[in-house]
Structure 1
């Protein structure tokens, strides 16, 4: 915990200096209790920028490979990920996806903030793709409010495939929290789809992105 706090205190001002951020709606993020931050996804930097600019620590899932890299680079990666409260998970397959959702639910059960990109993978053309229903499963299972988040500019700072970020400005908009009651009618699948669509609509209103009425193709790594 001390390492996380110290690293965050160092990284947050460095992030503000590097990204020259414009942040709107920070007061929309509850300061205490479980909350889900659901954001669009246009760059690897999204899940780094949000925890640095949010008013409280936000845990995102990160591939466990990042925590096992050797050498100085591996140490720096682990330190940075630990500083932004990243949670290591193993990716790949339906069973891993379910395990990841359980990890997220545990984060929320502990009263923490959890960040998620409902599109799954990064948008390679700037459009906002259809959300996957894991975010709704989390919201309905935990009862936590969902704060829609839009990140703008990270795709110019670190486009898909770029190894290092470039100078640039980032905008982060935190929307009004959404609250969802546990389903009482209809199927569970229908409830999750409706909740997910409402969350994605809120994200689009913040981001102004063109909507793609399809799921995002992950494409090649990078």
Structure 2
């Protein structure tokens, strides 16, 4: 109920006040487990995708957002919870494994899970090589991957500020990439790499970004 109420408010807000242009929502399966794999330009990416998607999309969020106190802490926790966010301690040495376990649980429950194959935000606007976790999840759970191309979200919340700016941005959902039966008999490592590269090619086609040769690394 909280999620539906939030969507009734923030969906129209994203399309009008935040000036969102949305393409391809019909590419998201109405039911069943599905991965939404997107490029990553801004913190708000994990908010705008659930705002405009036709079904709830679960993203992982820093556990800090769920532990605040007082009115602000309570409001923040309620907001992230209503948007389907799941807390994870990114400083935990087992965070990566825990994140995969959460994602698989969500997918096996027939829900939608959002992931950034680059691993972290692009600080120069280029699209970096995808990490194979996205393929591992899709192949393990047997679910399709919907590529998502984000354009302009870095202008909605520029790096270094907590304020939202009324800047136009675009969210494009591409055709689902099916995995069932396609990689049978192929070595696991090769299957994950080929599927991940296919996903990144689809994201690049939607976002129009320049490609980077290597992996993106978290800022220290």
Contact 2:174 2:202 in 1 (8 A): yes
Counterpart of 2:78?
Answer: 79
Contact 2:143 2:180 in 1 (8 A): no
Contact 1:7 1:79 in 2 (8 A): no
Deviations 1:86-121 (A, max 9, x none): 111221355210111110010011111111011111
Point out 4+ residue stretches in structure 1 off by more than 4 angstroms.
none
Tell me how far apart the structure 2 counterparts of residues 169 and 157 of structure 1 sit (CA, whole Å). 8
Mapped pair 1:193 → 2:216: no
Contact 2:37 2:199 in 1 (8 A): yes
Tell me how far apart the structure 1 counterparts of residues 118 and 75 of structure 2 sit (CA, whole Å). 28
Deviation, structure 1 residue 158: 0.9
Counterpart of 2:24?
Answer: 25
Tell me how far apart the structure 2 counterparts of residues 31 and 90 of structure 1 sit (CA, whole Å). 31
Gaps of 5+ in 2: none
Contact 2:19 2:166 in 1 (8 A): no
Counterpart of 1:129?
Answer: 128
Deviation, structure 1 residue 194: 1.1
3-state SS of the aligned residue for 1:62?
strand
3-state SS of the aligned residue for 2:149?
strand
Counterpart of 1:63?
Answer: 62
Deviation, structure 1 residue 6: 1.8
Please report the TM-score for the alignment, with normalisation by the length of structure 1: 0.94
Deviation, structure 1 residue 122: 0.3
Mapped pair 1:35 → 2:34: yes
Counterpart of 1:205?
Answer: 205
Tell me how far apart the structure 1 counterparts of residues 186 and 36 of structure 2 sit (CA, whole Å). 26
Counterpart of 2:170?
Answer: 171
Contact 1:173 1:206 in 2 (8 A): yes
Q: CA RMSD in A?
A: 1.4
Please report the TM-score for the alignment, with normalisation by the length of structure 2: 0.95
